[in-house]
Amino acid sequence: MANIPFPHPFTTTPATTPFHIPKTDWLAANPRFANLAIGAVVFSPPLPQSPNQTTTTTTPKILLLQRAAHEAYANTWEPPGGGCEDATIDRTLLHGVGRELWEEAGLVMTRVMARVGGVHAWSHKVKGQWAKIVFWVEVERGADGDGNGNGNGNGEGDVVVRLDPKEHQAFVWASEEEVLAGRVGGVEVGFMEGAREMFVDAFRVRREAVAALGEGGAGFAEGGEDGGVGVAV
């Protein structure tokens, strides 16, 4: 995947500012973990920008990527993500989310909305205890029409997904009901431990944001630009 200007500008919300820190700082505050992975949840359509848009009948769908057949946990479905790097590459956890999203799905992160799910922990016999944190993000949207994966995926709206075939072989956009059923059309979607619950929690968080917007709230207060720490407005 070609490089993008780094770090690419993005905004945050107050809920995500605690994660605007380098990986080393997060690990120092959570010493039982030796390594950290991060992930990005992407919805189509994006969060409405005003209460007038909350009446849309479009069912929100979430982006799922299928791991390549030659990878560990082959053929399972997950969000874009991977290991967070040191500050020489990933200035903060949130910069790592944007980098992984670009590398694995060809999408440019524009806003980090909220953390979804809890901290997923697992142990690796060589690399020790891992933690994974996943964030709901919004992405740059073009006018190219439907996307097209390197497999059985199909695009949704004007988000164009471009997979890295070394890591993923297909993508789908799935509703909450499809995530719960483990099937999108004729495609069976199996998940690693904890992934289904994380996706379901992401739908809950989005639902609450839409409800707050419809009640005259801001949905999420805007934070700073270029990954900067922002304050509620």
Q: Is the peptide bond before 60 cis (omega within 30 degrees of 0)?
A: no
63 within domain boundaries: yes
| The model's pTM | 0.84
Q: How close are the terminal C-alpha atoms of the chain, in Å? A: 37
Is 191 exposed, middle or buried (CB count within 10 Å of its CB: 0-12, 13-18, 19+)? middle
Whether 159 maps to a domain, the answer reads yes
Q: What is the CATH number of the domain that holds 25?
A: 3.90.79.10
- Considering the domain boundaries, does residue 229 fall inside one? no
Residue 119 lies in a domain: yes
**What local confidence, expressed as pLDDT, does residue 73 receive?**
86
Bond before 9 cis per omega within 30 degrees? no
Q: Is residue 225 part of a domain?
A: no
Q: How many domains does one find in the chain?
A: 1
With a cut of 50, which residues of the chain have pLDDT below it? 55, 143-156, 222-233
List pLDDT tens digits, range 29-45: 999 999 999 999 999 99
Per-residue pLDDT tens over the stretch 192-214: 989 999 999 999 999 999 888 87
Helix (H) or strand (E) holding 191: none
Range of the domain at 151: 14-214
87-88-89-93 Cα dihedral, nearest 10 degrees = 10
Q: Residue 220 domain-assigned?
A: no
The answer to the question of residue 44 being in a domain is yes
For residue 3, tell me if it sits in a domain: no
Strands (E), 68-108: 77-78, 81-83
35-44 and 187-188 as β-strands: parallel, antiparallel, unpaired?
unpaired
